[in-house]
């Protein structure tokens, strides 16, 4: 389920430029430091041998050679990520650094940050996955350092079609494929250094997990929210199986291209419609993208209107067609009715003369999806039923048509068509020569309704009848609608009605690889839930996953499983052979992460109350509707039965953009083989296309042009990554080539997190260089003899004001930008800091340390390594995240060092124009400084405005206290 990514609207073709003075580094001449020990057994490195210039010991030079040898794999490394990354990953794993204990201090604030868990496909991770995962990881790491209890889990949405299709093709059990794919995904994720609590890993296919999915189903059943109904499915007679929507392409099966028809079958349905209003209302309080909320609102599609009845003419029985309309004001303009082809009344009213045509039309329509039928651009089709109905407003007989632009599943499956005021009806009426009667005039003026439908509100015309006594002429559309509803209710011809587009959720699949539905059918064919004590109802083993050919699901083949005993009567019974859809397991997994091993309850109440709701939920925009809506529905049911304490599961949802393949530059040649500018290329000429390598292209204004001929404009294109285009970038390759920190940093640096962006190898080069610069800043450069010189870190010195300012500007920016999920600009701030730091003669340890902590959420491996080399013996994962001191951000003030007897004892923040008197007063009030001043007499003050205050005090004579 969580795999497909749809393009988002804005696209960044190029990563943001590096700061202008960003130097280029010759990658092959960078140091490769000593890490041999880390390869064999993990032991914390002492800082001394690498930072103090003593790196050239035996093991160091040996390892240097080893690293050099490492280049034989064709990879040039700007710093030894290939050694430090596995080392820290092993450390985090062995020490369970990111484990969120079961028993936690609940007085601390919590932060639950969740990724939409992936479907572990056979293809493994692609570079789109780490985009969201890196963002959530940065947030998780930040909050840990800020003192929060953090829940940051990962799991697998592992039931589903691909594993089953693979099983049909190869005979490999889906369980085997799933385990293999999960193992691959897990190891790929670990390679990227994400701080998941792997002890909480779950898979929707684990029996101990789906036991609770089945339990939820039983609760739904108990409350009448799960029921069975005959519903049309995609039936492929040639394959003898029901197909999922994604297996049907243009009306034929994806496999084999056989015709697929819509056929009613017994299905399980979930009554999500009972929650429509709450699903709509509660959206208002969520911190979600407005576009996602709007999509959910549209999907729920609440509309207000009326149902009204039209009596069928010329039929002996007293048949009435009930229509649903959102424009009761237009009743006088209804010149025909339309029934959906699947409408139940159709066979009763159709005339003998028209029956054959109607039957044929019905058959064709049964092969179309609702989407195809309602596409606005599609030409409207229909047939006359041969029958008429009376418009109750004016007593006029109007024809009843059958047309597939009306859906059986919406409203009443029938409409009053008002061609003057509805574009679909207008198109249909023109095509079939049906009268068009305008009944609404725009505010100022009139229109030619044959020309075009007017669907706006206005003033009513042609809307009065002495037969019915209804007169709405001159009223506004809104008032007219109310008046018509009053009249309908008074005359018994109809009533006010609220409608929803939302349909009940079809909750059954004719598939093997899904959760069994925990019900049986007794010998009278009645459905009974199995007892909760019997859960989990595990999937039976099967060797043959091919369809049964009868439309019955593959589980029907597991006879010894299917045939069971009815516990109430002792008679024979059969198990349900449909399974749950893939959406089921993903509807509630976020709850299980709070308490993944609980065998007595879906989730412990106390834990749920602490961790709910998910604070930040990150995933693709393609899940804006179904997954999020289904999960919200289940959550509300669980809320109603007291299992969860919040009305909504996900307080904040963020959609990451998608990563498109590398930009392709295309040039055009005319028939003579000459290059021509893209702006002169047209459809009529004979032009050929050719791909141009990036190094021959430059940007000129809004366009890309040939470097050696700026008059030749090129076309820049980026495509969604796909195997068939050959533009897929595999994260494993990137990690090998640049390291995980570079990949993480690059994905965050590519552009705004929510926007779509294109992959660029030169872009990743840039961030890799940045990391190498940080490395060299702290660790140092190699000396000519291959030994290592110390870095610029000054272990003793105090930071200067300028350095503190620079650091705090960086802290301020990085913190603000992470909080706002503007990760890319946070990185720019760190680049600026590094540039400044390179210009400093000495780099005080306290400054470097703070910077490393800032960097750590983004590039955790390098940060841990540098932290350890600076003498720390524990991970930095729980070190306090640097806090900004606003004093260092203010430009009108200065930080004045205060010396007491020539020794700097602290600083005070003062206005640049501060006088000696004021400075002295502030120093006396400062808690740190006052202890050096209190009780002492001041001999002298030396004050350099804006620079320093030196206070010479007379030391009080030491008094010896005799001890008796």
* Residues 390-409, mask of contacts with ligand ANZ (x by CB under 6 A): ----------------xx--
d(CA 459, CA 436): 17
* Residues 660-699, mask of contacts with ligand ANZ (x by CB under 6 A): ----------------------------------------
> By CB under 6 A, how many residues form the interface with ligand ANZ?
19
* Residues 297-316, mask of contacts with ligand ANZ (x by CB under 6 A): ------x-------------
Nearer to ligand ANZ, 2 or 428 (CB): 428
3-state helix, strand, coil in the chain (%, to 5): 35, 20, 40
Nearer to ligand ANZ, 80 or 438 (CB): 438
**For residue 272, which of 301, 233, 300, 232 has the smallest C-alpha distance?**
300
Query: To 10 degrees, the CA torsion angle through 589, 595, 598, 600?
Result: -80
Any residues with CB less than 8 A from the CB of 519 and at least 6 apart, and which? Answer: 221, 527, 528, 529, 530, 575, 576
Among 60, 218, 416, 910, binds ligand ANZ (CB under 6 A): 416
Taking CB under 6 A as the binding criterion, the range among 116-124, 286-294, 413-421, 503-511 that sits at the site for ligand ANZ is: 413-421
Among 418, 502, 637, 847, binds ligand ANZ (CB under 6 A): 418
Among 411, 547, 554, 882, binds ligand ANZ (CB under 6 A): 411
Among 2, 159, 324, 888, binds ligand ANZ (CB under 6 A): 324
Taking CB under 6 A as the binding criterion, the range among 90-98, 417-425, 621-629, 721-729 that sits at the site for ligand ANZ is: 417-425
Counting contacts by CB under 6 A, is residue 515 touching ligand ANZ?
A: no
Q: What residues between 328 and 387 interact with ligand ANZ by CB under 6 A?
A: 330, 340
Among 421, 757, 773, 813, binds ligand ANZ (CB under 6 A): 421
Q: What residues between 427 and 466 interact with ligand ANZ by CB under 6 A?
A: 455
DSSP assignment of 559-586: HHHHEEE-TTT--EEEE---B--THHHH
Counting contacts by CB under 6 A, is residue 527 touching ligand ANZ?
A: no
**For residue 754, which of 820, 869, 658, 683 has the smallest C-alpha distance?**
658
Counting contacts by CB under 6 A, is residue 327 touching ligand ANZ?
A: yes
Query: To 10 degrees, the CA torsion angle through 617, 623, 625, 628?
Result: -40
Taking CB under 6 A as the binding criterion, the range among 204-212, 318-326, 612-620, 697-705 that sits at the site for ligand ANZ is: 318-326
Cβ neighbours of 223 (radius 10 Å):
13
Write down the least CB distance from residue 192 to ligand ANZ, Å: 45
Nearer to ligand ANZ, 452 or 947 (CB): 452
Write down the least CB distance from residue 504 to ligand ANZ, Å: 16
Taking CB under 6 A as the binding criterion, the range among 375-383, 411-419, 607-615, 716-724 that sits at the site for ligand ANZ is: 411-419
The CA-based diameter of the chain, rounded to the nearest angstrom, is 127
Alpha helices in 71-226 (DSSP H): 81-95, 129-145, 161-170, 174-190, 207-222
d(CA 411, CA 258): 32
Angle between helices 81-95 and 58-70 (to 10 degrees): 110
Taking CB under 6 A as the binding criterion, the range among 14-22, 322-330, 426-434, 848-856 that sits at the site for ligand ANZ is: 322-330
d(CA 2, CA 165): 18
Counting contacts by CB under 6 A, is residue 413 touching ligand ANZ?
A: yes
Counting contacts by CB under 6 A, is residue 499 touching ligand ANZ?
A: yes
d(CA 670, CA 626): 49
Write down the least CB distance from residue 249 to ligand ANZ, Å: 25
Q: Measure Cα distances from 934 to 759, 896, 900, 954 in Å.
A: 63, 20, 12, 11
d(CA 781, CA 763): 24
Q: For residue 652, which phi and psi values (nearest 5 degrees)?
A: -130, 130
d(CA 459, CA 345): 35
Nearer to ligand ANZ, 139 or 418 (CB): 418
Write down the least CB distance from residue 338 to ligand ANZ, Å: 8
Nearer to ligand ANZ, 228 or 326 (CB): 326
Nearer to ligand ANZ, 13 or 410 (CB): 410
Nearer to ligand ANZ, 114 or 340 (CB): 340
Nearer to ligand ANZ, 304 or 544 (CB): 304
Among 410, 610, 795, 838, binds ligand ANZ (CB under 6 A): 410
Strands 397-403, 382-390: pairing kind = antiparallel
Q: Which helix (H) or strand (E) holds 656?
A: strand 653-656
Q: Which helix (H) or strand (E) holds 609?
A: helix 605-611
* Beta-bridge partner residues of 304: 498
Counting contacts by CB under 6 A, is residue 325 touching ligand ANZ?
A: yes
Nearer to ligand ANZ, 261 or 407 (CB): 407
Nearer to ligand ANZ, 59 or 455 (CB): 455
Among 273, 322, 326, 646, binds ligand ANZ (CB under 6 A): 326
Q: Which helix (H) or strand (E) holds 927?
A: helix 927-933
* Residues 868-887, mask of contacts with ligand ANZ (x by CB under 6 A): --------------------
DSSP annotation of 517 reads P
Write down the least CB distance from residue 471 to ligand ANZ, Å: 19
Taking CB under 6 A as the binding criterion, the range among 194-202, 320-328, 557-565, 741-749 that sits at the site for ligand ANZ is: 320-328
Nearer to ligand ANZ, 338 or 951 (CB): 338
Angle between helices 823-838 and 801-819 (to 10 degrees): 170
Nearer to ligand ANZ, 327 or 845 (CB): 327
Write down the least CB distance from residue 618 to ligand ANZ, Å: 32
Task: Give CA angle at 257 (254, 260), nearest 5°.
Answer: 85
Counting contacts by CB under 6 A, is residue 477 touching ligand ANZ?
A: no
Quote the radius of gyration of the chain (alpha carbons, Å): 36
Q: Measure Cα distances from 828 to 750, 767, 823 in Å.
A: 11, 10, 9
Nearer to ligand ANZ, 117 or 336 (CB): 336
Any residues with CB less than 8 A from the CB of 151 and at least 6 apart, and which? Answer: 100, 110, 111, 112, 113, 114, 197, 200, 593, 594, 611
Question: What is the separation, in whole angstroms, between the first and last Cα of the chain?
Answer: 82
**Residues forming the site for ligand ANZ (CB under 6 A):** 303, 324-327, 330, 340, 406-407, 410-411, 413, 415-416, 418, 421-422, 455, 499
């Amino acid at each position: 389920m969580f795999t497909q990514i749809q393009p988002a609207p804005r696209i960044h073709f190029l990563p943001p430029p590096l700061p202008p003075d960003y130097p280029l580094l010759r990658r092959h001449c960078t140091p490769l430091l000593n890490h041999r020990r880390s390869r064999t057994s993990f032991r914390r490195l002492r800082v001394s041998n690498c930072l103090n210039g003593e790196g050239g010991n035996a093991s160091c030079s040996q390892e240097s050679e080893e690293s050099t040898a490492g280049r034989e794999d064709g990879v040039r490394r700007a710093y030894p990520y290939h050694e430090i990354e596995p080392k820290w990953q092993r450390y985090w794993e062995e020490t369970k650094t990111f484990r969120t204990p079961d028993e936690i201090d609940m007085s601390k604030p919590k932060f639950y940050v969740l990724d939409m868990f992936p479907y572990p496909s056979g293809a493994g991770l692609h570079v789109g996955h780490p985009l969201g995962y890196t963002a959530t990881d940065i947030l998780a790491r930040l909050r840990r350092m800020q003192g929060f209890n953090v829940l940051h889990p990962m799991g697998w949405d592992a039931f589903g079609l691909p594993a089953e299709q693979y099983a049909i093709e190869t005979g490999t059990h889906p369980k085997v494929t799933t385990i293999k794919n999960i193992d691959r995904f897990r190891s790929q994720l670990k390679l990227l250094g994400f701080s998941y609590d792997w002890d909480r890993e779950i898979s929707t296919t684990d029996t101990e997990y789906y036991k609770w999915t089945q339990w939820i189903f039983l609760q739904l059943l108990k409350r009448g929210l799960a029921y069975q109904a005959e519903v049309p499915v995609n039936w492929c007679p040639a394959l003898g199986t029901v197909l999922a929507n994604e297996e049907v392409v243009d009306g034929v099966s994806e496999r084999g291209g056989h015709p697929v028809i819509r056929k009613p079958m017994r299905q399980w349905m979930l009554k999500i419609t009972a929650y429509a209003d709450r699903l709509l209302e509660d959206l208002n309080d969520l911190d979600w993208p407005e576009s996602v909320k709007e999509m959910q609102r549209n999907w729920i599609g609440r509309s207000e209107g009326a149902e009204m009845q039209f009596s069928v003419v010329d039929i002996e029985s007293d048949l009435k067609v009930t229509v649903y309309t959102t424009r009761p004001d237009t009743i006088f303009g209804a010149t025909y009715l339309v029934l959906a082809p699947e409408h139940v009344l159709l066979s009763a009213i159709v005339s003998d003369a028209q029956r054959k045509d109607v039957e044929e039309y019905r058959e064709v329509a049964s092969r179309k999806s609702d989407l195809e039928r309602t596409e606005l651009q599609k030409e409207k089709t229909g047939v006359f039923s041969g029958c008429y109905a009376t418009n109750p407003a004016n007593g006029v007989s109007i024809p009843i048509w059958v047309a597939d632009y009306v859906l059986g599943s919406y409203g009443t499956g029938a409409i009053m068509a008002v061609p003057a005021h509805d574009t679909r009806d207008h198109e249909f009426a023109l095509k079939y020569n049906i009268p068009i009667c305008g009944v609404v005039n725009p505010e100022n003026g009139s229109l030619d309704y044959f020309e075009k439908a007017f669907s706006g509100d206005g003033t009513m015309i042609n809307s009065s009848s002495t037969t019915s006594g209804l007169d709405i002429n001159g009223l506004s559309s809104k008032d007219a609608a109310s008046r018509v509803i009053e009249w309908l209710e008074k005359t018994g011809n109809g009533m006010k009605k609220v409608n929803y587009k939302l349909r009940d959720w079809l909750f059954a699949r004719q598939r093997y690889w899904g959760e069994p539905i925990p019900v049986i059918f007794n010998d009278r064919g009645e459905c009974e839930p199995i007892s909760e004590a019997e859960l989990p109802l595990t999937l039976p083993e099967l060797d043959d996953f091919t369809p049964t050919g009868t439309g019955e699901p593959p589980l029907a083949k597991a006879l010894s499983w299917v045939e069971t005993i009815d516990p109430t009567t002792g008679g024979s019974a059969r198990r349900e052979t449909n399974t749950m859809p893939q959406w089921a397991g993903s509807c509630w997994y976020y709850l299980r992460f709070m308490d993944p091993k609980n065998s007595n309850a879906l989730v412990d109440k106390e834990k749920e109350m602490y961790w709910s709701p998910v604070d930040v939920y990150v995933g693709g925009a393609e899940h804006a509707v179904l997954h999020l809506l289904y999960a919200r529905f289940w959550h509300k049911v669980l809320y109603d039965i007291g299992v969860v304490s919040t009305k909504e599961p996900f307080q904040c949802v963020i959609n990451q953009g998608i990563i498109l393949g590398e930009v392709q530059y295309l040039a055009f040649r005319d028939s003579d083989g000459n290059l021509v500018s893209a702006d002169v290329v047209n459809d009529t000429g004979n032009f050929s296309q050719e791909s141009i390598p990036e190094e021959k292209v430059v940007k000129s204004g809004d366009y890309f042009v040939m470097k050696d001929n700026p008059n030749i404009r090129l076309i820049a294109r980026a495509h969604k990554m796909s195997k068939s285009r050959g533009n897929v970038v595999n994260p494993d390759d990137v990690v090998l080539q640049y390291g995980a920190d570079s990949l993480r940093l690059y994905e965050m640096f590519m552009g705004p997190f929510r926007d779509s962006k294109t992959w660029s190898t030169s872009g990743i080069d840039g961030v890799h260089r940045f990391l190498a610069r940080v490395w060299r800043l702290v660790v140092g450069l190699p000396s000519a003899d291959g030994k290592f010189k110390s870095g610029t870190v000054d272990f003793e010195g105090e930071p200067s004001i300028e350095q503190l300012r620079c650091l705090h500007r960086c802290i301020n920016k990085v913190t603000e930008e992470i909080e706002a999920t503007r990760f890319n600009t946070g990185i720019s701030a760190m680049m600026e800091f590094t540039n400044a730091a390179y210009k400093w003669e000495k780099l005080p340890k306290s400054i470097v340390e703070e910077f490393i902590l800032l960097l750590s959420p983004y590039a955790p491996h390098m940060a841990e390594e540098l932290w350890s080399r600076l003498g720390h013996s524990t991970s930095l994962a729980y070190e306090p995240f640097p806090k900004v001191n606003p004093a260092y951000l203010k430009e009108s003030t200065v930080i004045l060092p205060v010396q007491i007897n020539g020794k700097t004892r602290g600083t005070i923040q003062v206005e640049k124009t501060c006088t000696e008197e004021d400075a002295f007063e502030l120093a006396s009030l400062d808690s740190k400084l006052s202890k050096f001043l209190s009780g002492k007499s001041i001999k002298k003050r030396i004050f350099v405005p804006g620079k320093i205050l030196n206070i010479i005090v007379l030391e009080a004579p030491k008094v010896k206290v005799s001890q008796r």
